Structure 1
Amino acid sequence: MFAKKIKGSIRGSIVVDKKTKNLVKRVRPGQIAVICHEDLDEIAARDLVSAKVKAVINLAPSITGSYVSVGARILLQHGVPLYDSDASHLLPTLSDGETVEIVDDSICLIQTKPITIREITMEEIGQKWEMANQNLSDRLGMFIENTLIYAQKEKSYYISPLPHISSKVNMNHRHVLIVVRGKHYREDLKAIRSYIQDYRPVLIGVDGGADALLEEGWKPDIIIGDMDSVSDAALFCGAEIIVHAYPNGHAPAKERLVALGIPFEILPAPGTSEDVAMLFADEKGAEWIVALGAHSNMIDFLEKGRRGMASTVLVRMKMGMKLIDAKGVSMLYQNQVRWKNFFFIGTAAAVPMIAASVISPAVRQFWHLLWLQIKFFMM
């Protein structure tokens, strides 16, 4: 049964999951998503919009005001009704396919279970954003302190090389593109298509980043991560699989890959999978590392449920100039060709020619001889 609006109510079948990234793999257009996702983040919200859900019932606060989370706003901007409830204890009792009816924006019935709900409005989101901005300095201070504490504890991991694992992919003196499932990662990947075509970099997908590459027609050479958001189709695409495990070697993804019969290597390391991917490319001799969609600021990490970014700070310090961050590049991309741009491009191209004329004796001699020839023919 698909959801439909009937006389002020919303009825339909539900899809339930504590992890929104798992739910969006199963939900179909017109169904109602039941999640438990505090401070709904941008990526989750855009995935729900893309899935064309009829409504979202969140059994956790969609926006708390602790920081500026944008997920709730995105849903409402795209016409997706959002309801909050404090009935997280009921999540294990709910199942995909059960029928829900939302009545008067205050209560919903899932089968025979009544759940008190509250509709989230733009006015409330604005109030929570104002609260978040007022608390920004305190929150940033706590985030920095936490980052420094863990950086001090974990610095030895990043000074030392990663544990050795075999790889048939040659990265020595090559460009390496690392695709992470971060903000605007799909748009950014489209924007750098010409770069991929021209330089043919080694393609590394971090978890769901592998699916993003496949969606754009590129096959990843390597997939790195804890494999919690990558599809089975991506795992079977022929890429080398490197499972990012905890420092003690525990790898929750091991059971899944063994069940699928896919060969893999285990790489134990602290930090995020994207950080491990950068370190791995660096140690394999990459000339340049281009990170697309990578998490790099406080909001990014708060949305991931992390209270600091020690590993990212240390990795970026280690990478130095070799690392190029392509996050948000699509925001600078112009779809329309403007004739005035040709003027600026032409002017820019002329600058090095003029500079060469001034600096190089050979070029100066060329222009001098050309001028003498012109004077000769004018006589």
Structure 2
Amino acid sequence: MWRMTVNSGETATTTVQGRIRDCTAQGKGLSKLGAGDIAVVDSPDMTRREADVLADAKPGAVVNLSRFTTGAIPNYGPHLLMDAGIPLVEGAGAEVRSVLRSGKKAAIGADGAIYVGKKLAGKGEYVDRAAVDASFAAAQQSLVDQMEAYFGNTIEFIHSESPLLIDGVGVPELGDAMAGQKVLVVSGFPGEGGLLRERLGNLRNFIREYSPVIIGVGGAADTLTDLGYDPDFIVGDPSDISAEALRGNARVILPADPDGHAVGLERIQDLGVGAMTFPAATNSPMDLAILLAAFHDAETIVAVGDAVDLDRIFANPEGASPAALLARLKAGRRLVDSTVIENLYRSTSGGGVAWAWAILGLLVALAAVILIVGLGGPGEFTENLVDTWNQIALRVQGWFN
């Protein structure tokens, strides 16, 4: 790696050259990242932990396909890298990742232009320390304001929905359909149609082994039906769900306003399908599905869909509403994200299963030998086995004499 500095008046510009290392989630360049390399990442609002790993490798520069700081949260990542004297280039764009392949020689111009060989691959912007500091301060104040509003709304929700959250007032009566059972709550992923199928594929062994009660949330009910799973319950707006799924064996539950009005009731009536309503001050069918399983004494609730955690609350997405937080807190220790189950089955499959099949194969082969030897000799079955064993023992003894 070489770095060339050119002084023009009072402004210093820098050109960096080195080998590209794809350190994005899809790449494997992080393990090979060394001093002087150009690390390519895709880390909006880079965390301190991510930056620390990069800084330890002493790269010549870090190119971020996204922005090191978006202004959504006060993150320390870019500060740590800049304190280590590592030039940062941001906003290169996801489309250049396929060009910036690990191992290729590249250079970054003083204007942020990124070259692979002599070919222009893309362009980013050098990160300015003053701009990072200003963005951090603004994001810090914005986060405080946002959290004050969020928890204010949370208190309001508790005030209006305490009968539901404490005593389950309004929860549809389902008998003991979920009591002591494992319940799989399946919701979709915004803009990721294939991701839901992939996640359900990873759960097939769990579903086969435990036969959980399945709740299809909204359009995810159609995905379940397409994959051959028959939901036990469907929670959501009927306009988002196919007639085939609604007419199946699932019991349909419609989210309703606190006054009892449910959107999509007309469609249910037109289809001649029976349905129950779930009145609450949230319009999220996922929240309602989790509460449904929690109040009907599910043993374990496995949620497939976007997780709600502190990072998402900080980022202020619509899906991390106060109702979403409180529904998950109500489910408590019974609620787990499906990725936990996927990882468990991934770690217990593979090698263990391969050994089981190998042992089974040896047993089958041994049984076949016993059957052939026992039936193939001139004497009785037992005599044939004894004679064969004695011959094998004598042969082995001869090898060692």
What is the TM-score with the length of structure 1 in the denominator?
Answer: 0.50
* Aligned match of 1:210: 221
State the shift of 1:177 in Å.
Answer: 0.6
Q: 1:171 aligns with which of 163, 171, 178?
A: 178
What letter is aligned with 2:241? V
* Aligned match of 1:235: 246
What letter is aligned with 2:248? C
Q: Tell me if structure 1 keeps the 8 A contact 2:294–2:330.
A: no
* Aligned match of 2:157: 154
* Aligned match of 2:257: 246
Q: Tell me if structure 2 keeps the 8 A contact 1:244–1:269.
A: yes
Q: Tell me if structure 2 keeps the 8 A contact 1:206–1:273.
A: yes
Whole-angstrom distance in 1 between the partners of 2:150 and 2:293 = 24
* Aligned match of 1:264: 275
Whole-angstrom distance in 2 between the partners of 1:333 and 1:246 = 39
SS in 2 for 1:291: strand
Task: Determine whether 1:192 maps to 2:217.
Answer: no
Once the two structures are superposed, residues 167-207 of structure 1 have per-residue CA deviations (whole angstroms, 9 ceiling, x without a partner) of 36711111111001136332221111100110011000111
* Aligned match of 2:17: none
What letter is aligned with 1:265? M
What letter is aligned with 2:338? A
| Distance 1:302-1:191 versus aligned 2 partners, 3 A rule | same
Q: Tell me if structure 1 keeps the 8 A contact 2:307–2:337.
A: no
What percentage of aligned pairs have identical amino acids? 28
Whole-angstrom distance in 2 between the partners of 1:126 and 1:136 = 20
Q: Which runs of 5+ in 2 are unaligned?
A: 1-69, 74-92, 99-121, 356-401
Whole-angstrom distance in 1 between the partners of 2:313 and 2:271 = 31
SS in 1 for 2:318: coil
* Aligned match of 1:224: 235
Q: Tell me if structure 2 keeps the 8 A contact 1:147–1:308.
A: no
What letter is aligned with 1:279? L
Matches within 5 A, 1:1-379: 137-155=140-158, 156=162, 157-167=164-174, 170-182=177-189, 184-271=195-282, 272-297=284-309, 306=318, 309-327=321-339
Greater relative contact order (Cα 8 A, min sep 6): structure 1 or 2? Answer: 1
What letter is aligned with 1:320? G
* Aligned match of 1:108: none
Q: Tell me if structure 2 keeps the 8 A contact 1:144–1:308.
A: no
Whole-angstrom distance in 2 between the partners of 1:75 and 1:241 = 43
Q: Which runs of 5+ in 1 are unaligned?
A: 1-64, 79-121, 344-379
| Distance 1:186-1:77 versus aligned 2 partners, 3 A rule | farther
Q: How many residues align?
A: 234
What letter is aligned with 2:152? I
Provide the aligned C-alpha RMSD in A: 4.3
Q: Tell me if structure 2 keeps the 8 A contact 1:177–1:290.
A: yes
Q: Tell me if structure 1 keeps the 8 A contact 2:251–2:275.
A: yes
State the shift of 1:340 in Å.
Answer: 11
